[in-house]
Amino acid sequence: MNPSDIEKQAAAVAAAELVESGMKLGLGTGSTVAFLLQALADRAIDVECVSTSPQTEKIARELGLNVSSFAGLDGVAHLDMAIDGADQVDPAGWIIKGGGAAHTREKCVAAAADRFIVIVSSEKLVPALSAPLPLELLDYGLAATLRALGTVSLRDVPRSPDGGVIADWLGSLDDPASLAARLSATPGVIDHGLFSPDMTERVVVAEGTTTRHIMINA
């Protein structure tokens, strides 16, 4: 394994230790989460999981994890905990997610959870956030949405499982709160990959095989 994967695995194993039997658990998406899924399977505890992507759901089921629906009125409505990776974490606890284009679902799952735990390798800790910032856009009115946003580029990837168009904001991230408010207020933006500090309980970061818990909202 390369040094980054060793750290991703260490952070994932440390976060899996926070999971207790009987919990309803949200599962993020990405390579760090893949290590989490294995760590949860290794612990063989009884948890009810919801997934943020078809990829995570497939791996989780193959590992024997119990995956429930998070869709529609028959889906799970409340989660005890959600665990997910991230692309960037700044010193104030602002987080960029969506490198894997799953940020809209990931934010829904994080918001439904009492405790949102972020797991990262050390290179994800940055002094300041920078572009690209993932976006999910409605196809209807897409040209007008892109014009309103200005500094944005479409990503050459399939649509999200919910039909959204994936794009990236390429402008300044100097003021994440203002940008988040602006993007949320732009018609046609389904969601963006900025997660505010008040969403996250802690960031579990690995430096080598040593893990550290950065408490954001204890």
Catalytic site residues? 106
**132 touches ligand 5RP (CB under 6 A):** no
Q: Long-range contacts: 180-189, Cβ < 8 Å, 24+?
A: 183/135, 183/149, 186/145, 186/148, 186/149, 187/141, 187/145, 187/148, 188/137, 188/138, 188/140, 188/141, 188/142, 188/144, 188/145, 188/148, 189/135, 189/136, 189/137, 189/138, 189/145, 189/149
**59 touches ligand 5RP (CB under 6 A):** no
Q: Could you tell me which stretch among 14-22, 25-33, 125-133, 147-155 binds ligand 5RP (CB under 6 A)?
A: 25-33
Least distance in angstroms from the C-beta of 197 to ligand 5RP:
17
**115 touches ligand 5RP (CB under 6 A):** no
Residue closer to ligand 5RP, measured from CB, 19 or 37: 37
Peptide bond into 132 cis (omega under 30): yes
User: Which of helix, strand or coil describes residue 148?
Assistant: helix
Find out whether 185 and 211 touch, Cβ atoms under 8 Å.
no
Determine which residue in the list 26, 99, 132, 164 makes contact with ligand 5RP, applying CB under 6 A.
Answer: 99
How many residues make contact with ligand 5RP (CB under 6 A)?
A: 17
Least distance in angstroms from the C-beta of 127 to ligand 5RP:
19
Least distance in angstroms from the C-beta of 85 to ligand 5RP:
3
Residue closer to ligand 5RP, measured from CB, 120 or 149: 120
Helix %, strand %, coil % for the chain, to 5? Answer: 30, 30, 40
Positions in 75-94 near ligand 5RP (CB under 6 A): 84-87
Find out whether 195 and 216 touch, Cβ atoms under 8 Å.
no
**30 touches ligand 5RP (CB under 6 A):** yes
**136 touches ligand 5RP (CB under 6 A):** no
Residue closer to ligand 5RP, measured from CB, 24 or 124: 124
Enumerate the β-bridge partners of residue 24: 48
User: Footprint of ligand 5RP on this chain (CB under 6 A)?
Assistant: 28-32, 84-87, 97-103, 106
